[in-house]
Amino acid sequence: MRVRVKLAAFGAVLVASMAGTVAYIIDTRQEQERQIAEAPPVPVTDLKLVSQQARIIFRSTAIGDDYGRVAVVRLDDPDGARAFTPATCDRVYSRQGEAVCLYSKAGFVTTYRAEVLDENWAVRRDLPLSGVPSRTRLSPDGDWVATTTFVAGHAYTSPGEFSTETLVTPLNGGDSLNLEDDFKLIVDGRPNNSQDRNLWGVTFTGDDDHFYATAASGDKTWLVRGSLKTRELVALREDAECPSLSPDGTRVAFKTRNGQAEGQWLIAVHDLASGRSTLLAEKRSVDDQIEWLDNDHVLYGLPRSGNGPSASDVWTVPADGSGSPELFIPDAWSPAVVR
Amino acid sequence: MYISIRDKPASDGAGGPRGQRPRIAATVFLLGTVSLLTDVSSEMVAAVLPLYLTAELGLSLIAYGVVDGLYQGVSALVRIFGGYLNDRTNRPKWIAVAGYGVSALSRIALISAQGFVAITAVVTADRLGKGFRTAPRDALIADVSEPGVLGRAFGVHRMMDTVGAALGPLAAFGLLLLVPGDYNSVFVASFAFGIIGVAVLVLFVPDRRTAGGGPGLPLRKLFGELTSPRLRRPLLAVGVLGLLTVGDGFLYLSLQHRDDFAARWFPLMYVGTNLVYLLLAIPVGRLADRVGRARVFIGGHVALLAVYLVAAVPSGGLALTLLALGLLGCYYAATDGVLPALISPRVPAAARGSGIAAAQTVVVLARFAMSLMFAVLWQFMGPSAALYLAAALLVAGIVVSARLLRGVDQAEPVREATS
């Protein structure tokens, strides 16, 4: 009798949990289908047409069948019609005639890929990639590509946990360089050999040698200037992450903790000649590698709370601390300006 | 393979007639089922957490990883505390229920947890629950099993546990194919598996008093048991070997460095290791019962030594990677479940939870210390040289531990204290 009661109780728990889960999943599926059906149609234009002029390439996060696809808008009409490319990326960057695409391939075993794409969005080259896509950049001359991913099993103090892996790969052949293993880090004139070093968020100069990136150790981060020739990374200032070099090469935009809580960042611009930094007018937390719209404005993605999976928009704000943020491209992420 | 079921206290006789294999208690299968369901539940979440944090919440994983490292120490303390509470209250079932319950509840909390602090709190709760429940569960397994089949009993449990760990990620990514991008569905399903696991534990696992119904053991006596000569040498040997165990994170990383396939299919490395582990858990457990648990435990570390050497070779392809994963699976099969089977006969039932917890904590802390030291070696010598050095030290460690464990297998199991 007692066993019967127990079996009945177990049956009830089993049925309730299974039915609840299945009901939740069915409900979610229907909600997703409803959202796709009800989503306002995105104005679409011709890819060839847009690709002939100055443009912005980005990951489209508009709800619908093209969610996650790389799209292109005209630079002078960023919230106008977008043209979809065949590529689907989590993180994309592009220059004239070339793009780099990081994506996770969903499946029973999720794998991660990085590919260099040609002007027709066909795969030109596979890059090594072993973790969740985070940042990527091409050098202005197209000779180098940098990728940053989150990798399991890299963190020294807690094997199996996460840290970043940043690779710089020459596109004309040759092996990838690992910023952590292949470069020396120099902070305040002294080499820093600590085991918990982490490096991420590369931005290239146009001289085929120098780049900027983030170095971290302990609870500190630094803006570093790296050299591909000397294999050195020299810290320029503290508390600066994910640098992005301005088109004229005089300033670096970055995100900074600036005394904020864990996981909160403001964005700022560092003048390389004077060493002075200016906080920008955006007050919300930005976790993105900034892109320069032109020498006076920056672009960055912000997640949008509420409906749909990973809703996000691209915003713009003046690069000198003045003005106020403005919505630039709705339903977009990972912008790259191509002229 | 033939496994029959019985569920009688181990103390009521020496099993069946000569020639008939002693049976594995039903409780072991029930606890195995609880672990299987709980592991499906926790590995579902673990598999999608990195994607969820970056893609959905836009959190920087760096911060997550930094804080996460701190929990290892906390988890070790909770483990000891779980073992102590087990012996103090003498209610292993309900201590285990608390541990499994906290982990199950943490899943549903993930749905509303938005932001860095909330997520880390939830993940911590899960870890703490895991640390807390391990010792009382292993004490229960030891209590319901014949001393002669402890290795096989733990093997059965670990095999079921590992099946759950292998199924979890598949279930999670399968779900995400069904409802793309909806991580909450994964958390809800994970919660359901967790609750069913707790239900099996609460409803069907007997509420045994491991020390035969007596009151709990006072702290001072407990401490005396843990430092008794019977336990001192095994704990020392386990500590020495733990100190020379390079974390599998480093081993996978080293394989990944030289093999493109390993780099691309990184998540499959865990699956491969787990597959070998679950296939070997029972046979190796039986082997341990037959030829001696200490011997098999040492043998596991010889397999680990071979992994170091295979991983240290500067270049190698798919075949070497598979060989390394297979050997790593052997190492887990010969150590994870064999350790409690080795320790529990050497502790009186009244102190069993603490004894098992002590051995597991020694392993966790020793490995953590090794990770810190090995990181420095890795940094300055490079992966290959660091692994060769670790291999040389492990040879010495194996020799020392083999001496320390000599005679442990032959020794009479400890007689129950009468007071």
Report which of B67, B176, B84 is spatially closest to residue B139, judged by C-alpha positions: B84
Which pTM was predicted? 0.79
Phi, psi torsion values for A260, nearest 5 degrees: -75, 170
- The confidence score (pLDDT) of residue A1 equals 58
Q: Which of residues 113-132 of A touch B (CB under 8 A)?
A: 128-132
DSSP SS3 for A184: strand
Phi, psi torsion values for A288, nearest 5 degrees: -160, 160
Residue B199 to residue A111, Cβ atoms within 8 A:
no
Residue A287 to residue B56, Cβ atoms within 8 A:
no
DSSP SS3 for A86: strand
Q: How far apart are the first and last CA of chain B?
A: 41
Residue B64 to residue A162, Cβ atoms within 8 A:
yes
- The confidence score (pLDDT) of residue A274 equals 95
For residue B382, give every residue at least 6 positions away whose Cβ sits within 8 Å of its Cβ, in sequence order, or none: none
Residue B185 to residue A157, Cβ atoms within 8 A:
no
Residue B69 to residue A152, Cβ atoms within 8 A:
no
- Write out chain A residues lying below 8 Å of B274, CB-based: none
Q: What percent of chain B has pLDDT over 90?
A: 43
- The confidence score (pLDDT) of residue B155 equals 96
Among B72, B175, B263, whose Cβ lies nearest the Cβ of A158?
A: B72
Residue A161 to residue B69, Cβ atoms within 8 A:
yes
Among B61, B177, B253, whose Cβ lies nearest the Cβ of A153?
A: B253
Please say whether the beta carbons of A118 and A125 come within 8 A: no
- The confidence score (pLDDT) of residue A244 equals 97
Mutate to test the interface with B, among A18, A28, A69, A156 (most CBs of B within 10 A): A156
> What gap in Å lies between CA A220 and CA A209, rounded to an integer?
26
Predicted confidence (pLDDT) per residue in B282-298, tens digit? 999 999 999 999 999 99
> What gap in Å lies between CA B57 and CA A303, rounded to an integer?
8
- Write out chain A residues lying below 8 Å of B186, CB-based: none
Whether residue A307 lies within 8 A of chain B, CB to CB, comes out as no
Residue B188 to residue A153, Cβ atoms within 8 A:
no
Predicted confidence (pLDDT) per residue in A195-213, tens digit? 678 899 999 998 989 999 9
DSSP SS3 for A37: helix
- Write out chain A residues lying below 8 Å of B267, CB-based: 109-111
Whether residue A217 lies within 8 A of chain B, CB to CB, comes out as no
Predicted confidence (pLDDT) per residue in B55-79, tens digit? 666 555 444 444 444 555 667 788 8
C-alpha distances in Å from residue A15, one per residue of A11, A25, A123, B42: 6, 15, 48, 21
Mutate to test the interface with A, among B62, B108, B254 (most CBs of A within 10 A): B62
- Write out chain A residues lying below 8 Å of B174, CB-based: 108
- The confidence score (pLDDT) of residue B266 equals 67
- The confidence score (pLDDT) of residue A95 equals 93
- Write out chain A residues lying below 8 Å of B265, CB-based: 109, 111
Asked whether the CA dihedral A288, A289, A293, A294 is positive or negative, the reply is positive
> What gap in Å lies between CA B412 and CA B357, rounded to an integer?
22
For B378, nearest residue in chain A (alpha carbons): A195
For residue A312, give every residue at least 6 positions away whose Cβ sits within 8 Å of its Cβ, in sequence order, or none: A61, A301, A302, A303, A304, A331, A332, A333
> What gap in Å lies between CA A55 and CA A167, rounded to an integer?
27
Size of interface A-B (CB pairs under 8 A): 173
Among A18, A29, A128, whose Cβ lies nearest the Cβ of B263?
A: A128
Among B182, B253, B264, whose Cβ lies nearest the Cβ of A111?
A: B264
> What gap in Å lies between CA B183 and CA B170, rounded to an integer?
14
> What gap in Å lies between CA A12 and CA A14, rounded to an integer?
5
- The confidence score (pLDDT) of residue A16 equals 96
For A197, nearest residue in chain B (alpha carbons): B379
Minimum distance, in Å, between the CA of residue A210 and any CA atom of chain B: 25
- Taking 50 as the pLDDT cut, the residues of chain A under it are 153-161, 307-308
ipTM of the assembly? Answer: 0.80
- Taking 50 as the pLDDT cut, the residues of chain B under it are 1-19, 61-69, 416-419
Among A21, A163, A262, whose Cβ lies nearest the Cβ of B189?
A: A21
C-alpha distances in Å from residue A274, one per residue of A62, A222, A254, A271, B55: 41, 17, 16, 6, 37
- The confidence score (pLDDT) of residue B2 equals 39
Task: Find the angle CA(B111)-CA(B112)-CA(B118) to the nearest 5 degrees.
Answer: 105
Predicted confidence (pLDDT) per residue in A64-92, tens digit? 888 899 999 999 999 999 999 999 999 99
Minimum distance, in Å, between the CA of residue B208 and any CA atom of chain A: 17
Whether residue A3 lies within 8 A of chain B, CB to CB, comes out as no
